[in-house]
Amino acid sequence: MKTENIIADKTFKFSLSIISLFKKLQEEKEFIISKQMLRSSTSIGANVQEATAAQSKRDFINKMSIASKEARETKYWLRLLSESELTEINVSNEIREITHIINIITKIIITARKNV
């Protein structure tokens, strides 16, 4: 029986949506922010995956904390895209989703710290 990992699934799907956004931004010749956003956004899920194989509770918290930092960086890049005049692409759905991901990861970290 497969165990469902909501945050791992959400971060994977989010990465896929950012890859699509990255491709659109590349077509519009927006290279700098799009590359930064791609790196930070895909790192979120990678760190969540690493956390699932953590060697200890502290290691788990550390990996999830890195995922949180990467998520916050991704939100920053998305906000820059949204509020600048670099592109006409609407990223409000991505901002909403990354905010939700940040909230989930924050709750996971808080809960894990209580149980150390």
Residue spans of the chain under pLDDT 50: 1
User: Does the residue 21 lie in any domain?
Assistant: yes
User: Does the residue 1 lie in any domain?
Assistant: no
Residue-wise pLDDT for 50-80, tens only, equals 999 999 999 999 999 999 999 999 999 999 9
* CATH number of the CATH domain containing 83: 1.20.1440.60
- Cα–Cα distances in angstroms (integers) from residue 50 to residues 65, 66, 70, 83, in the given order: 12, 10, 14, 33
pLDDT of residue 2: 52
Phi, psi of 4 (to 5 degrees): -85, 130
Residue span of the structural domain in which 66 resides: 6-114
Whole-model pTM over 0.85: yes
User: Does the residue 97 lie in any domain?
Assistant: yes
61 touches 112 (CB < 8 A): yes
Domain count, the chain: 1
